[in-house]
Amino acid sequence: TKEIIRKELARWFVSLAIGVCTGLIACLIDYLIELTSSIKYGYVRNYVEKCVEDFCLYAPFLMWVAFNAFIVMFGAILVAYGEPMAAGSGIPQIKCYLNGIKIPHVVRIKTLICKVLGVVCAVAGGLAVGKEGPMIHSGAVVAAGVSQGRSTSFGIDFKIFEYFRTDTEKRDFVSGGAAAGVAAAFGAPVGGVLFSLEEGASFWNQALTWRIFFASMTSTFTLNVVQSYIKGNPWELSNPGLINFGEFEDSKYAGFEIPIFMVMGVIGGLLGALFNQINYMLTCYRLRYVKQRWNQVIEAMIVASLTATAGFVTIYFNNDCQPMKDKTQTNLVQFFCDDGQYSTTANIFFQTPESSVKDLFHNQPGSYEVKTLGFYTLVYFLLATWTYGLSVPSGLFIPCILIGAAWGRLTGIFFNYAFPEADWADPGKYALMGAAAMLGGVVRMTISLTVIIVEATGNISYGLPVMIILMIAKWVGDFFNEGIYDMHVHIQGVPILGWEPPVMSSNISAIEVMSHPVTVFRTKETVGRIVSILKADEHHGFPVVSNFDPHDGTISRETFGTFEGIIIREQLIILLKLKVFEENPDYQLILKNIKASDFRDTYPRFPPIQQINLTSQERDMTVDLTVFMNPAPFTISDRASLPRIFRLFRALGLRHVTVIDDKHQVIGMVTRKDLARYKIWRHHGQISMEEIQISHG
């Protein structure tokens, strides 16, 4: 009883720690970005102001390019040479991890370090990236680290939380960490919980969800306290999240605007599908031709230089001057404008993306010219498609929000122009709706994204329009291709399972799905055969059978002995390492001394089979697997249909299941890969099912 209560308390304590650490890391990232950006922009901005008069604009331009390329180079080197797993937003990887697929290095501390420093470089280097995806990934790594009470990379073991060293417990904490990351990034604790559920959970559990919520609340709170302290109003706790979309004063909408929003949803879906398609082609190209590390670094530097160039060109040719409202705004860039005016274009490019988002949402009507916004949308769209997939940590939320806000604001300006009397046509509101549409079209998330947007605006009255827009954008986008995260998951050939069994699969039976010749072990198996099979075979679980003769060489064999249980690769390796062989003189003693912790201590990095040294004498000994196997795993009948097998896997998070016939004979194994082969194609309104090839790697 006490053990259970202690474990329960430890779970809450770990959730608290996850929340606090994630909040602190978010603060750190934010602080570093603010610091480097303000240095860079301050320098470039002053230089520009000077050179506008002296006709030496090439100098600040080159300086800007050099700045960006240099900072981004640092980030790209960190990722390419340090830890390639730190590239991108990390959301696809977290998705796979929560789906039950082990991807190496995803939750290592080294990944965390590269991710944090890398994202600072990427954002400060002016790339079209955000810091939100990386922040979510960081939260997940923190959770994995804290919950295990040790770091295998550093060889530190605090000897605490040893009972959490299992896949299930770790995965639960990682989902808490991801939620805490969302909470810190957007100030959206509820959105974070829903994100974890939408992307990861297969089975809703009240206690678990409550702990996840606790972690994300703590993370928002920590961030809040630290930020309010930095800003000099300690305990003024009304400043959640790193991207606050700012408050919408007059948050009303009229019923007749809903059709407009729906059209915006369609546009968002179309643009999103285009975005994903271009990005897909680029990624495939990159996988084929940009393999070497230094190539990746150079590509990142090229994009960084191009981003700076694009910015400069836009500013140069779009001399969109607006009167300064307030002399105190020292950050505004005058550029070619008259005194007392500032260049809005320069302003968009000479500040962090977060500030641009706020400006697009909240600046007065008339702050931007039409051509500025149009040009900006186009340039940023192309840059963002190119950037996502570079060898730097890069979030997608901010670029999508910027693109969407730009064309959304354009829509608002259009309505202002068409109906000059209308007070409902607030460009800021339309910028928000455009941002939602673009996000929905690209990432295709549903309820969690709605709640994130609602929480980030701090306003629930926009809930319904945002939801309608996201729904339509997702429908339109799904007509053409998948969401960008799913796309990247599939490019990597990861056997992820969807939400529903493939349609039209109910006439496919286990016999067709299963992998056929099965590698099985006998209840009493020789050490030699175990070693050679583990070396030759990559599977994770093996059925243990009786009435089976491995040396009976008929290849067309239908069954593989009577099913007795299942044994896991890691268990076998530990048994070999501890030499739990029946012929050992001290066999009884070894058996008595074996503890659960023997299996737990090596988690999660089991020694590979190659590291186990055995004498040839030992290879002739036998292991009694019945003592260690799982004697009652889930099995399925050979007549079970694909949807039924799918549900079993999905609901229980299984990795493999044995197929037995009605004589209790093993006739096959079904793994995630076998199921993931059957994929639904639902493009252009057509639904069909296809077997696809999953890379066996």
Rounded to whole angstroms, the Cα distance separating 286 from 92 reads 18
Contact set for a second copy, span 5-24 (CB under 8 A): 5
For a second copy, which residue of 632, 693, 695, 697 counts as binding (CB under 8 A)?
Answer: 632
Residue 386 within binding range of a second copy, rule CB under 8 A: no
**Among the listed residues 426, 448, 425, the one whose alpha carbon sits nearest the alpha carbon of residue 436:** 448
Residue 471 within binding range of a second copy, rule CB under 8 A: yes
**Among the listed residues 107, 134, 104, 105, the one whose alpha carbon sits nearest the alpha carbon of residue 119:** 134
- State in angstroms the smallest separation of the CB of 266 from a second copy: 16
- State in angstroms the smallest separation of the CB of 412 from a second copy: 19
For a second copy, which residue of 72, 454, 520, 676 counts as binding (CB under 8 A)?
Answer: 454
Residue 688 within binding range of a second copy, rule CB under 8 A: yes
**Of 62-70, 215-223, 478-486, 584-592: span binding a second copy (CB under 8 A):** 215-223
Question: Nearer to a second copy by C-beta: 372 or 505?
Answer: 505
The torsion angle over the Cα atoms of residues 540, 543, 544 and 546, rounded to 10 degrees, is -160
**Phi and psi torsions of 233, nearest 5°:** -115, 70
Rounded to whole angstroms, the Cα distance separating 331 from 69 reads 23
Write out the E strands in 124-279. Answer: 150-151, 156-157
Residue 460 within binding range of a second copy, rule CB under 8 A: yes
- State in angstroms the smallest separation of the CB of 205 from a second copy: 5
Q: Give the chain's end-to-end CA distance (angstroms, integer).
A: 44
Question: Nearer to a second copy by C-beta: 105 or 647?
Answer: 647
Question: Nearer to a second copy by C-beta: 161 or 253?
Answer: 253
For a second copy, which residue of 51, 274, 282, 504 counts as binding (CB under 8 A)?
Answer: 504
Residue 165 identity: R
Residue 238 within binding range of a second copy, rule CB under 8 A: yes
Helix (H, G, I), strand (E, B) or coil at 448: helix
Rounded to whole angstroms, the Cα distance separating 539 from 353 reads 46
Question: Nearer to a second copy by C-beta: 217 or 410?
Answer: 217
**Of 28-36, 194-202, 570-578, 599-607: span binding a second copy (CB under 8 A):** 194-202
Contact set for a second copy, span 47-66 (CB under 8 A): none
**Among the listed residues 666, 679, 589, the one whose alpha carbon sits nearest the alpha carbon of residue 635:** 666
Contact set for a second copy, span 151-190 (CB under 8 A): 189-190
Contact 299, 391 (CB under 8 A): yes
- State in angstroms the smallest separation of the CB of 363 from a second copy: 23
Rounded to whole angstroms, the Cα distance separating 317 from 46 reads 20
Cis status of the peptide bond prior to 604, with omega within 30 of 0: yes
Distances (CA, A) of 109 to 82, 90, 139, 155, 171: 12, 14, 11, 12, 16
For a second copy, which residue of 36, 38, 151, 202 counts as binding (CB under 8 A)?
Answer: 202
**Among the listed residues 625, 639, 643, 635, the one whose alpha carbon sits nearest the alpha carbon of residue 670:** 635
- State in angstroms the smallest separation of the CB of 670 from a second copy: 13
Helix (H, G, I), strand (E, B) or coil at 526: strand
**Among the listed residues 62, 37, 38, 87, the one whose alpha carbon sits nearest the alpha carbon of residue 299:** 87
Residues 638-677 as x/- pattern, contact with a second copy by CB under 8 A: xxxx--x--xx-xxx---------xxx-------------
For a second copy, which residue of 232, 685, 695, 696 counts as binding (CB under 8 A)?
Answer: 685
Residue 506 within binding range of a second copy, rule CB under 8 A: no
Rounded to whole angstroms, the Cα distance separating 268 from 473 reads 6
Question: Nearer to a second copy by C-beta: 618 or 638?
Answer: 638
Contact set for a second copy, span 484-503 (CB under 8 A): 499-500, 503
Rounded to whole angstroms, the Cα distance separating 221 from 215 reads 10
Residue 423 within binding range of a second copy, rule CB under 8 A: no
Residues 6+ apart with CB under 8 A from 250: 426
**Phi and psi torsions of 430, nearest 5°:** -70, -30
- State in angstroms the smallest separation of the CB of 133 from a second copy: 19
Q: How many residues bind a second copy (CB under 8 A)?
A: 81
Residue 461 within binding range of a second copy, rule CB under 8 A: yes
**Phi and psi torsions of 376, nearest 5°:** -60, -45
For a second copy, which residue of 101, 510, 567, 669 counts as binding (CB under 8 A)?
Answer: 510
Residue 235 within binding range of a second copy, rule CB under 8 A: yes
- State in angstroms the smallest separation of the CB of 467 from a second copy: 5
For a second copy, which residue of 97, 164, 195, 253 counts as binding (CB under 8 A)?
Answer: 253
Residue 299 within binding range of a second copy, rule CB under 8 A: no
**Of 348-356, 359-367, 403-411, 634-642: span binding a second copy (CB under 8 A):** 634-642
Question: Nearer to a second copy by C-beta: 528 or 643?
Answer: 643
- State in angstroms the smallest separation of the CB of 397 from a second copy: 19
For a second copy, which residue of 237, 284, 370, 692 counts as binding (CB under 8 A)?
Answer: 237
- State in angstroms the smallest separation of the CB of 652 from a second copy: 5
For a second copy, which residue of 50, 102, 231, 252 counts as binding (CB under 8 A)?
Answer: 252
Residue 246 within binding range of a second copy, rule CB under 8 A: no
Looking at residue 78, what DSSP letter applies?
I
Question: Nearer to a second copy by C-beta: 126 or 268?
Answer: 268
Question: Nearer to a second copy by C-beta: 206 or 613?
Answer: 206
**Among the listed residues 391, 386, 350, the one whose alpha carbon sits nearest the alpha carbon of residue 73:** 391
For a second copy, which residue of 104, 204, 339, 418 counts as binding (CB under 8 A)?
Answer: 204
- State in angstroms the smallest separation of the CB of 565 from a second copy: 8
Contact 439, 446 (CB under 8 A): no
Angle made by CA atoms 420, 422, 427, in degrees to the nearest 5: 85
For a second copy, which residue of 89, 147, 209, 559 counts as binding (CB under 8 A)?
Answer: 209
The token duo for 87 is: 């590239």
**Of 133-141, 331-339, 435-443, 461-469: span binding a second copy (CB under 8 A):** 461-469
Residue 563 within binding range of a second copy, rule CB under 8 A: yes
Beta bridge partners, 565, equal: 544
For a second copy, which residue of 33, 86, 193, 476 counts as binding (CB under 8 A)?
Answer: 193
Element (H, E) at 72: helix 58-77
For a second copy, which residue of 28, 464, 491, 497 counts as binding (CB under 8 A)?
Answer: 464
Residues 6+ apart with CB under 8 A from 684: 479, 480
Distances (CA, A) of 154 to 11, 109, 150, 169, 503: 24, 9, 8, 22, 47
- CB count within 10 Å of CB 77 equals 20
